[in-house]
């Protein structure tokens, strides 16, 4: 976890958090063998809550039947401050703690700046 215990270390760059324009991220995570169902449950538990948050423009999670336990995320937030508020939510703290032992390797995140 990061020094403020809100997100896994290094997941969100400071420049993204400081953005006053929309930010987006494509992320990828794979569940450890045998943990696919638990990881799916943790992800499903946050989707509706996240979509209701102020500044959440889009939040979708994808998976594929040929790769059970592989999850691709796409998020778009109105600003870095909205993203920071999101990862600071108590339900996200619970989520990060829960998936820490379920994820194979590290969470992968690719930060995007919309062209318009």
Tell me how far CA of residue 6 lies from CA of 45, 65, 86, 112, in angstroms: 18, 31, 10, 21
Torsions phi, psi for 73 (to 5 deg): -115, 145
Cα–Cα distance, 116 to 32 (Å, whole number):
37
pLDDT tens by residue, the chain, 116 residues:
343 444 555 678 988 999 999 999 999 999 999 999 999 999 999 999 999 999 999 999 999 889 889 999 999 999 999 999 999 999 999 999 999 999 999 889 999 877 76
- In the numeric block, which tokens belong to residue 111? 């930060």
What pTM does this model have? 0.86
């Amino acid at each position: 976890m990061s020094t403020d215990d809100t997100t896994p270390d290094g997941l969100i760059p400071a420049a993204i958090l400081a953005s006053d324009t929309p930010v987006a991220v494509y992320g990828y995570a794979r569940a450890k063998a045998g943990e696919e169902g638990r990881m799916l449950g943790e992800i499903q538990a946050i989707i509706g809550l996240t979509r209701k948050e102020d500044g959440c423009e889009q939040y979708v999670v994808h998976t594929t039947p040929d790769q059970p336990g592989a999850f691709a995320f796409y998020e778009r937030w109105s600003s870095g401050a909205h993203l920071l508020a999101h990862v600071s939510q108590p339900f996200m703290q619970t989520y990060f703690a829960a998936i820490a032992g379920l994820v194979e390797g590290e969470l992968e995140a690719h930060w995007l700046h919309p062209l318009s």
